[in-house]
Amino acid sequence: MKHRFVFLVICCVVCSHWLMAAEAGPAQTGASGARPNVVLILADDLGYGDVGCYGATKIKTPNIDRLAQEGRRFTYAYTPGSVCSPTRYGLMAGRYFWREPRHHPTGVHAPGGALLFDLDRVTLAKLFQKNGYATGAVGKWHLGFGKGDDPRVRYDFSQEEIKPGPLEVGFDWFYGMAANVGNQPRIYIENHRFVGRKPGDKVKMVGRADIEPWSPDAYYKEDHVAGDIAKKAVEFIERSAGKGKPFFLYDASNIAHNSITPATEFAGKSECGPYGDFVQELDAHVGWVRAALEKAGVLDQTLILFTSDNGGVVADNERLAAQWQAKQAGHAICGALRGRKHSIYEGGFRVPFIVRWPGQVPAGTTCDTMLCLNDVLATCAALLGESLPANAGEDSFNALAAWKGEPNARVRNTVVLDSASGVFAIREGSWKLIERNESPRAEGGKKAKKSKADVENQNQLYNLADDPAETKNLWSEKPDVVKRLSALLAEARKNTHTRPQ
């Protein structure tokens, strides 16, 4: 009798696991029949018009274009924020950043701000780690270090170990910068320590956020950073491939964020001055990653994603010298879209998004289905046969059918956008509604002179199918559309999630 009871318990457990797996769906496999490696390349401030396959003619990007030729190119991929950390948070957590109280409601997370994730939150890295993947991250982090709930408090980098950070949210290995290249501490971090710091080496905090290292030689050279990070990406592939389990690499380049510092071997190689040189350096690094995958014999067993964290920086005058020179040479960083990084218009949010996965993603295809970078989490969960719990990926939708080219695949009905100054918008179908924010911050401050933020911070409605450059405000002409979209935006902001539970 006892043995029969044990047998029944085992059967119940096995059946329970089988039913959970059946509900989530089987793990997806590539051309080889095995679970794919995944390489996610995230450019920094790369505009919609910076890449050849998205219309660039003055800047040459053959390696990125080849990804599109061998995969699927999306034309309506949105970032949740028009600046850095909001999108990076959304990408990792599948959740709008404005739901996270540690992140300031406007602008970006402070380079020395606290880690933006609760340690029990499901992240993209934890998802892969749970499923037996080796996980690595290189490049720009900009998601905080250390514990704390007050966004005004800065991390103490004088400590021997820098944590919690990337390793605590699911990466086995990290090599990169705390945030932007020009932000303190300006020293590479590997896992929990500054690179080159030996036991006993002192790091002194200066003021709230600056540091004084043990030696001036500890600082990296700005024009070397992009190449150093690309080489570390290659190293991770070389040591991870063929080790008996798949790998996930998050490759967060600093190109094309200011300062524009192309490496010597790329200087003067484009038709668009230093900015063009910098973007062409990024393209070369994409080629390095591809070559490393090919050399390791895993290229066709690897899902490659290429995208950007927000729109590009567009210059109106010579103050932004590199971008201005590119513009004068005939290059349109955000293509024909209105706006740029920071803004509420399409140029701030719509970015290149390419998926390459032999045997699963149809080569040489284009898709105009709307998706958001938040959706990468739910899509990778579906790829792995996982179901996200209710308190994870609250704003992430499964885009796997669209990635794989299934006809009429639809990812989401709406996407909520939030500019750097806290102006909200919602996109549904061809309609885009921008809602005026009454706060002084959104208006450029009480005593500030009239600025672009003031121009943007008005009630606006555009039909992007007829008016992709957002030139004709239909707010007064379409009160029924305004009422409906305003209600959808209010509902999304009031609820704790947009993904069906």
**Is residue 212 assigned to a domain?**
no
* Residue that is last in its domain, among 412, 446, 471: 412
pLDDT at 449: 45
Give how far Cα 164 sits from Cα of 17, 124, 177, 404, Å.
32, 17, 15, 36
Give a yes or no: residue 11 inside a domain. Answer: no
Report d(CA 280, CA 302) in Å as an integer.
23
Please report the pLDDT score of residue 8 as a whole number.
Answer: 41
**One domain, residues 110 and 250:** yes
Kindly tell me if the per-residue pLDDT of 15 is higher than 60: no
- Identify whether residues 383 and 492 lie together within a single domain: no
pLDDT number for residue 68: 98
Do 404 and 477 fall within a single domain?
A: no
β-pairing, 431-435 with 350-356? Answer: unpaired
Q: How far is CA 193 from the centre of its chain?
A: 24
Residues 401 and 427 in one domain: no
Same domain, 408 and 444: no
Q: Is 194 helix (H, G, I), strand (E, B) or coil?
A: strand
The pLDDT tens digits of the residues spanning 320-349 come to 999 999 999 999 999 999 999 999 999 999
Percent with pLDDT over 70 in the chain = 92
| pLDDT at res. 452 | 62
- Contact between 233 and 138 under an 8 Å Cβ cutoff? The reply is yes
pLDDT band at 17 (very low <50, low <70, confident <90, very high): very low
Are 326 and 396 contained in the same domain? yes
Query: Rg of the Cα trace of the chain?
Result: 23
Task: In whole angstroms, give the CA distance from residue 282 to residue 225.
Answer: 12
Q: Is the pLDDT of residue 19 over 70?
A: no
**Tokens (6 digits) for 34:** 């095995």
In terms of domains, do 380 and 499 share one?
no
pLDDT tens for each residue of 405-431: 998 899 999 999 999 999 999 999 999
Residue 131 belongs to a domain with what CATH number? 3.40.720.10
Q: Which residue has the higher pLDDT, 33 or 135?
A: 135
Tell me how far apart the alpha carbons of residues 114 and 155 are, in angstroms, rounded to a whole number: 7
Task: Name the least confident of 19-33, 67-81, 281-295, 452-466.
Answer: 19-33
- C-alpha distances out from residue 13 to 131, 205, 213, Å: 19, 54, 55
What CATH code is carried by the domain that includes residue 501?
3.30.1120.10
Query: What is the average pLDDT across 298-304?
Result: 98
One-letter amino acid at 388 equals L
Condensed to tens digits (0 to 9), the pLDDT of residues 153-174 reads: 899 999 999 999 999 999 999 9
- Pick from 238, 236, 233, 323: which is nearest to 286 by CA? 233
State the pLDDT at residue 441.
59
Give the domain-ending residue among 358, 393, 412.
412
Q: Residue 384 falls within a domain, yes or no?
A: yes
Out of 355, 380, 412, pick the residue that ends a domain.
412
Reply yes or no on whether the pLDDT at 288 is more than 80. yes
User: Cα separation of 271 and 162, whole Å?
Assistant: 42
Residues in contact with 484: Cβ distance below 8 Å, sequence separation at least 6, in sequence order: none
Tell me: pLDDT of 353 over 70. Answer: yes
Alpha-carbon gap, residue 43 to 280, rounded angstroms: 12
Give the residue-averaged pLDDT of 442-456.
57
Band of residue 209 on the pLDDT scale cut at 50, 70, 90: confident
Q: How high is the pLDDT of residue 203?
A: 97
pLDDT band at 32 (very low <50, low <70, confident <90, very high): low
**Structural domain count, the chain:** 2
Does residue 379 contact residue 398 with C-beta atoms inside 8 Å? yes
Q: How confident is the model at residue 7 (pLDDT cuts 50, 70, 90)?
A: very low
Flag whether 20 is in a domain: no
Place of tokens 């990024």: 282
239 and 358, same domain (yes or no) = yes
Average of pLDDT values for 472-479? 98
Residue 176 included in any domain: yes
- Residue 172: inside a domain, yes or no? yes
287 and 314 in a single domain? The answer is yes
**Cα-flanking dihedrals φ and ψ of residue 68, to 5°?**
-65, -40
Same-domain pairing of 400 and 440: no
Q: Are residues 316 and 454 in the same domain?
A: no
Paired tokens of 224: 């070397």
Residue 21 has pLDDT above 50, yes or no: no
Structure token pair of residue 173: 């290995």
**Residue 238 CB: number of other CB atoms within 10 A?**
13
Lowest mean pLDDT among 6-10, 88-92, 274-278, 375-379: 6-10
Distances in Å between the Cα of 227 and the Cα atoms of 8, 224, 253, 285 are 58, 6, 9, 7
Q: What is the pTM of this model?
A: 0.93
The mean per-residue pLDDT over the stretch 296-306 comes to 98
Residue 2 has pLDDT above 60, yes or no: no
At residue 278, the pLDDT reads: 98
Q: How many other C-beta atoms lie within 10 A of the C-beta of residue 260?
A: 24
From 20-34, 211-225, 275-289, the region with the lowest mean pLDDT: 20-34
Average pLDDT along the chain: 92
124 with 375: CB under 8 angstroms? no
Question: 269 and 347: one domain?
Answer: yes
Instruction: Please report the beta strands in 265-322, taking only residues with DSSP state E, as ranges in sequence order.
Output: 302-308
Q: Which residues constitute the domain of residue 490?
A: 421-501
**Mean pLDDT calculated for residue range 373-381:** 98
pLDDT attached to residue 14: 36
Mean pLDDT of 83-107: 97
- Residues of the chain with pLDDT > 90, as a percent, come to 86
Q: What is the mean pLDDT of residues 462-473?
A: 98
Among 164, 162, 159, 82, smallest CA distance to 116 is for 164
